[in-house]
Amino acid sequence: MAILNKDNSILLIIDIQEKLLKAQFNKEEIEKKTAILAEAASILGVTTIVSEQYPKGLGHTIESIKEKLPADTVVVEKASFSCCGEENFRNTVKGLNKKQVIVCGMETHVCVHQTVNDLIAMGLEVHIVQDAVGSRKEWEYNQGIKRMLHCGIIPSTTETAIFELLKDAKNHNFKAIQALIK
């Protein structure tokens, strides 16, 4: 297992859309932690990709997260449950030439799980931010995490991920990152 490196990482936010978020058992936690991750990515210059499952019917990424995203965030619309089922997504990830993917989003046992498996098959190191993923039912969330652990994911939390990206307290962004978790 490797420590995250901001220059070699992608933050992937999967399907945090209004109509989907309402049904999640841990919706407040997902929204709060993902907003922190998005803002940390903006501060630290971490490449960010957002997926949106059928936005015509489910809406777009919720505003509280969208407003924190880096300006150069790539948004990928999808119909497949796995982000990797979309050619545009696969080409974007390959073109970035990064080795680590930090994943948050919904739903843990469906879109997150399938995407993670495909990312691992592509040879990428995947870190799941467990306090920033969710499902409609807690039982489904737990099963999704268990399945991904068996597939080789690296479990993480919001704080673990952002402090690994930060590296040390001498980083000129330390105070801005520290303020996100207070």
Q: How many CB atoms lie within 10 A of CB 81?
A: 17
Token duo for residue 1: 């297992």
Q: DSSP readout, 69-135?
A: S-TT-EEEEESSSSGGGSHHHHHHHHHHT-SEEEEEEE-IIIIIHHHHHHHHHTT-EEEEEEEEEE-
Active-site residue (options: 68, 83, 111, 118): 111
Q: Is 39 exposed, middle or buried, given 0-12, 13-18 or 19+ CB atoms closer than 10 A?
A: buried
Active-site residue (options: 15, 33, 83, 131): 15
Active-site residue (options: 33, 78, 104, 131): 78
- Does the active-site annotation cover 104? no
Token duo for residue 9: 């990482």
- Does the active-site annotation cover 182? no
- Does the active-site annotation cover 84? no
Catalytic (active-site) positions: 15, 78, 111
